[in-house]
Structure 1
Amino acid sequence: MKKETVNSLYDWIGIIIVPLIAIVIIFMFFFRVVGVDGQSMMNTLMDGDRVIISIINDPKPGDIVVISRNYNNDEAARDQNGNTPIIKRVIAVGGQTVDIDDDGNVIVDGVKLDEPYIAEQHQRRTGDVEFPITIKPGYIFVMGDNRNVSKDSRFSSIGEMGQINEKYVLGKAIVRFFPFSDMCVL
């Protein structure tokens, strides 16, 4: 009987430990959990939400991406916010041209974006980047969904004149998993 109990115990340990190790390895190499800090992505993501990001990514317009604070040319902002990454929506990628009209409409390559996700219409004069702007290859132009409070690519202190090098993109947000009541695929 004792040998059967020991074998049964080993079976249970294997059933629990092997999947846990697999989950840890998967999250180490392919995914990461990130907390939302701030209001710039409201109403899509709220302060305190938790998201799973895919580390393997190629940013595309419309993606919600997590960006390392190291992108920032503004040392005071970097010091104030520490290593907390930022979460923004990709508006354009290398080679695309972005404009924002006087009504706050975002236009990419001559086409007005349909943006049902923005919290409220913003004003063009927010920020100091000159429009229209053509995004350099290997860079992205990002904006928060809550345009009236978001500090994003409309500001020259963000990245290089508002453009963020793709090397600072930590990943693409794929799932909001917390709070559980708001769990969804992004």
Structure 2
Amino acid sequence: MTDTADTAQSPTLQTSKAGRSAWKFLRDLLVIVLIAIVVSFFIKTFLVRSFYIPSASMENTLQINDRILVNELQPKVFGLAHGDVVVFTDPGGWLPASPPSPDQNSFGQAVNGFLTFIGLGTADSDDHLIKRVIGLPGDHVVCCGASGQIEVNGKPLDEPYIIRPANGAAGAVPFDVTVPAGQLWVMGDNRYNSQDSSRNQNLPGKGFVPIDDVVGRAFVITWPVNRWTWLGDYPDVFAGVG
């Protein structure tokens, strides 16, 4: 006959096993979180990145505070096309100097900065611009033709996505440029309220955006939910421009 005292576990032993189980759970949870952070960082660095829209320059396509996802494989791996909506860093002088942020060491800013680092936050959105590609390298782009439309390589563009005054031209500032190699000519859809190529012709870069400054192509609005939609490049608008 077996003594029950030999088979019953003492409270101390039970507590020890529970402690080891809890530690294993916390250890596994920590590993999962670390893996998720590393994966998010690599996705943000090489594949997809999140931004919010801080201005009205791309209305009505994009509204203030929309959240978007940007495909970072363009233009690094795949090229850009006319009509693509792209996010890029300031080519120099396009954005005003940012005032110092209050409470730099606040917990909220630290969390947002960390989320941005791993690709889940949008703290650096104010340091970037978003516009539509109108001219690719080698294109001759003019504003505006006799019809008031922008012309690319002699073809007038019928642009359904832009905002302009009634009977107003498709651009607020005239220009007649040929896009250099490795550069882009970009414009906001809200043509009379956009700090785009046309308004920066007096800067050293003459309004052109180096392709190397492009972070990627915006391809979807993710927030708010009622504005979820894919962002197209309107191939019909640019058909025949070469």
- What TM-score do you get using the length of structure 1 for normalisation? 0.80
Of Structure 1 and Structure 2, which has the larger fraction of its residues in strand?
1
| Matches of 2:154 and 2:205, distance apart in 1 | 23
Percent identity between matched residues is 28
Q: Does 1:85 align with 2:131?
A: no
CA drift of 1:141 comes to 0.4
Q: Does 1:126 align with 2:176?
A: no
* Larger deviation, residues 104-113 vs 77-86: 77-86
Provide structure 2 residue ranges, at least 5 long, that are not aligned to the other structure: 1-13, 101-125, 232-242
| Matches of 1:81 and 1:163, distance apart in 2 | 26
| Matches of 2:132 and 2:49, distance apart in 1 | 18
- What TM-score do you get using the length of structure 2 for normalisation? 0.63
The superposition leaves residues 139-186 of structure 1 with CA deviations (integer Å, 9 ceiling, x where unpaired) of 000110011111211121466222111121111111110112111111
The residue identity in structure 2 corresponding to 1:90 is V
Q: Calculate the aligned-residue CA RMSD, in Å.
A: 3.0
The structure 2 residue matched to 1:96, chosen from 126, 139, 156, is 139
CA drift of 1:32 comes to 1.2
The alignment of Structure 1 onto Structure 2 pairs a total of residues equal to 181
The structure 2 residue matched to 1:183, chosen from 198, 204, 228, is 228
Q: Is the 8 A contact 1:37 1:86 kept in 2?
A: no
| Matches of 1:172 and 1:125, distance apart in 2 | 23
Q: Is the 8 A contact 1:91 1:141 kept in 2?
A: yes
Give 1 or 2 for the bigger CA radius of gyration. Answer: 2
Secondary structure (helix, strand or coil) at the match of 1:79 reads coil
The structure 2 residue matched to 1:140, chosen from 160, 184, 191, is 184
The residue identity in structure 2 corresponding to 1:89 is R
CA drift of 1:95 comes to 0.4
The superposition leaves residues 11-46 of structure 1 with CA deviations (integer Å, 9 ceiling, x where unpaired) of x74995455643443223212111111111000001
Indicate the residue corresponding to 2:217 in structure 1: 172
Cα gap change, 1:45 to 1:78, in 2 (>3 Å): same
The superposition leaves residues 110-157 of structure 1 with CA deviations (integer Å, 9 ceiling, x where unpaired) of 11223111123543672364x2x1110100001100111112111214
Indicate the residue corresponding to 2:45 in structure 1: 28
| Matches of 1:125 and 1:181, distance apart in 2 | 30
Q: Is the 8 A contact 2:171 2:192 kept in 1?
A: no
Cα gap change, 1:185 to 1:138, in 2 (>3 Å): same
CA drift of 1:60 comes to 1.9
Q: Is the 8 A contact 1:65 1:90 kept in 2?
A: yes
The structure 1 residue matched to 2:198, chosen from 150, 154, 167, is 154
The residue identity in structure 2 corresponding to 1:25 is F
Indicate the residue corresponding to 2:112 in structure 1: none
Cα gap change, 1:104 to 1:137, in 2 (>3 Å): same
The residue identity in structure 1 corresponding to 2:45 is M
Q: Is the 8 A contact 1:93 1:135 kept in 2?
A: yes
Provide structure 1 residue ranges, at least 5 long, that are not aligned to the other structure: none
The structure 1 residue matched to 2:70, chosen from 35, 41, 53, is 53
| Matches of 1:169 and 1:118, distance apart in 2 | 22
The residue identity in structure 2 corresponding to 1:36 is I
Of Structure 1 and Structure 2, which has the larger fraction of its residues in helix?
2
Q: Is the 8 A contact 1:158 1:164 kept in 2?
A: no
| Matches of 2:154 and 2:172, distance apart in 1 | 20
Q: Does 1:105 align with 2:149?
A: yes
